[in-house]
Structure 1
Amino acid sequence: MSLENFIPLDQLCTHYKVEMSFFTSLNDYGLIEITTIEESCFVHKEKTGEIEKMIRMHQELNINFEGIDTIFNLLKKIETLQSQLINTQNRLRVYED
C-alpha cells in the first residue's frame, strides 16, 4: 500500500497540538478512519479538511464528540437535500420552457 495518500497521525498531533486519544475517539465515533501500516497510524490526506473542522469545533467551541458526530451528520443531510433540490429544479425547468 502506498503511503503517499496518507498522513501519519503523530504529525497531525504535533501540527494541531492535540493528543493521539483525540484521533482515537474520532475513530471510535466513526468520524475518521485510522489506517495502521507497519505499526504506524495514518489518515487519508483527503480527510484533513474535515479533521481540521473537527479539531476547531472541539477546541474553540467546546463541542464534544457526540456533538461533532451530530453536526457532521446534519451537514451531510443538508448536502444531500441541496443536491436533490437542484435535481428537482432542473427537472422542473424542462416543463417550464
Structure 2
Amino acid sequence: METEFITITEYCINYHIDPSFMVSLEESDIVSFPVVEKEKVILTDQLAELDKYVHLHYDLQINIEGIDAIRHLLQRVHDMQEEIKELQNELHLHK
C-alpha cells in the first residue's frame, strides 16, 4: 500500500499558508514532516491535525507557543478521558 501525501509547497499554495508557519510547526516539534524525493511532505493522515493548527493560527491569531500549549492540554484531556473509561470498566467488573 502506497502512502498518500501532499508536498508542503502544494499545501501552502492551495491553502494560502505561509511556508514559514510550517517550518515553525516543525521546529517546535508540533508536527514532523517526512521527506519524499528531497521534498518535505504532509501525510494524508496528518491533514486533519494540521488543519486545526492552521485554524488556530490564522483564524484565532494564536502563536506557535499557544498552539503547542493547546495541543498539550488537549492531549492531557484525551489521556484523562481514556483513563476514566478504563476505571469505569474496572468498576463495572467489580460490581
Determine the C-alpha separation between the residues in 1 that align with 2:90 and 2:39. Answer: 49
Contact 1:32–1:43, Cα closer than 8 Å, also in 2: no
SS at 1:41's partner residue? strand
Determine the C-alpha separation between the residues in 2 that align with 1:94 and 1:13. Answer: 51
Specify the alignment match of 2:59 in structure 1: 60
Determine the C-alpha separation between the residues in 2 that align with 1:46 and 1:89. Answer: 31
TM-score, structure 2 as length reference: 0.91
Q: Deviations over 1:38-57 (max 9, x none)?
A: 22111221110010000010
Give the aligned length.
95
Uncovered stretches (5+) of structure 2, i.e. residues with no partner: none
RMSD (CA atoms): 1.5
SS at 2:30's partner residue? coil
SS at 2:94's partner residue? helix
SS at 1:47's partner residue? helix
SS at 1:57's partner residue? helix
Identity %: 27
TM-score, structure 1 as length reference: 0.90
Specify the alignment match of 1:49 in structure 2: 48
Specify the alignment match of 2:35 in structure 1: 36
Contact 1:9–1:20, Cα closer than 8 Å, also in 2: yes
Determine the C-alpha separation between the residues in 2 that align with 1:7 and 1:63. Answer: 25
**Deviating runs (4+, > 4 A) in structure 1?**
none
Determine the C-alpha separation between the residues in 2 that align with 1:49 and 1:21. Answer: 19
